[in-house]
Amino acid sequence: MALSEEEIFSKVQSSLEDALGVDDDEVTMDATLVGDLGAESIDFLDIVFKLEKAFDIQIPREELSPEDILTNSQYVQDGVVTADGLAELKKRMPWADLSDFEADPKVQNFGNLLTVGDLCRYVGSKVND
């Protein structure tokens, strides 16, 4: 059964409150997981577990963390993601808004890219396929 955007947001919000110990009013669509909500690397594993349970989905590691692209010399030169790398990221993560990252595609900037909205769109792509 398809879920509405509101239903998806509500479950994502609840999962992030549990995983990150943040208040519901902090979890807005524009909030970044790392910068605004304080997520650390280990929290992403926790978020994956909580989303899998909340939505009864499977989340392969590479879908949310494209480390294989960001560490591949074919797609990264001098710490900057190449045009080919950006194309690969867009293909892998069509649900993510990469426009800010495209303006300054340093690998180090990728860590603070994902927003709550991205996560909702990702989950939506899984449950409403």
Residues that bind other proteins (CB under 8 A): 18-19, 42-43, 45-46, 48-49, 52-53, 61
What lies within 8 Å, CB to CB, of 55 at 6+ separation is: 3, 8, 11, 123, 126, 127
Give the span between the Cα atoms of 56 and 70, in whole angstroms: 29
Closer CB to other proteins, 67 or 102, in the complex? 67
In the complex with other proteins, which residue's Cβ is closer, 48 or 69?
48
- Distance of closest approach, residue 79 Cβ to other proteins, in angstroms: 22
Region label for 87, one of left (φ > 0), alpha (ψ between -120 and 50) or beta (otherwise): alpha
Smallest gap from residue 5 Cβ to other proteins (A)? 26
Rounded CA separation 112/124 (Å): 21
- What's the min distance (Å) between Cβ of 30 and other proteins? 26
Question: For other proteins, which is the closer residue by CB, 44 or 101?
Answer: 44
3-state helix, strand, coil in the chain (%, to 5): 55, 5, 40
Cβ at position 45, least distance to other proteins in Å: 5
Q: Please identify, using beta-carbon distances, which residue of 54 and 86 lies nearer to other proteins.
A: 54
